[in-house]
Amino acid sequence: MENPRVFITRQQISARIADLAEQIRQDYRHKNPLLIGILKGSFVFLSDLIRVLDIPLEVDFIRVSSYGSGKESSGKIEVVHDLTTPIEGREVLVIEDIVDTGLSLSFILDYLRQRNPASLRLCALLDKPSRRKTPVHIDYPGFTIPDRFVVGYGLDFDERYRYLPDICYLEEDE
Ligand code: 5GP
């Protein structure tokens, strides 16, 4: 059985979100941006971020299948839940929980770019650069973390642990 150990506390997360929100607010204050959350993992981060941002904005979601079950990427990516909002001419800010290999994000950014948004930027709470297989530029990065599997604050392991308020490592019990 795995045992979640706290890695980034809820206080550290909210302090970092306040910094990110300050930058995003400067850049998007009068632009009515469309924030696109990547399901499922980003929903907790997105909901905290928009309340701290406190500027007019809209929200939509997209879901791709990348990881099957477990901790390894399946390598095959497809859209399983599409946007409901047209994005042509919109100021689009993608909100992601974690960038790992970068494969899902580069697929999603290409997919969105084909729909001609006025601008397209990325905010990601967590970045694991050591695992990158394709380059992804993160305009608003939260925390850089080492190559360990994390859960909590929206992130799951086989649908478990999303509800944990802190970001945790999974450790095997003795
Ligand atoms: P990438 O395509 O960058 O390899 O994978 C991104 C997706 O993989 C994330 O949106 C997330 O769903 C999943 N992922 C990558 N690393 C982790 C991790 O450490 N913990 C969890 N729970 N999911 C991860």
Its pTM stands at 0.94
pLDDT of residue 141: 98
Instruction: Confirm whether 100 is a catalytic residue.
Output: yes
pLDDT of residue 171: 81
Distance of CA 97 from the midpoint of ligand 1 (Å): 8
Our measurement of the distance from residue 142's CA atom to the centroid of its chain's CA atoms, rounded to an integer in Å, reads 10
The pLDDT tens digits of the residues spanning 56-77 come to 999 999 999 865 555 555 567 8
C-alpha torsion 84→16→48→94, nearest 10: 0
Mean pLDDT for all residues in the chain: 93
CB of 67 sitting under 6 A from ligand 1: yes
pLDDT tops 70 at residue 160: yes
The pLDDT tens digits of the residues spanning 115-143 come to 999 999 999 999 999 999 999 999 999 99
DSSP 30-99: TS--EEEEEETTTHHHHHHHHHHH-S--EEEEEEEEEE-SSSSEEEEEEEEE--SS--TT-EEEEEEEEE
The pLDDT of 82-98, averaged and rounded, is 97
Q: Which of 48, 97, 100, 166 is catalytic?
A: 100
The full set of domains in the chain, from first to last, is 10-149 (3.40.50.2020)
Distance of CA 27 from the midpoint of ligand 1 (Å): 27
Contact 77, 26 (CB under 8 A): no
Distance of CA 129 from the midpoint of ligand 1 (Å): 12
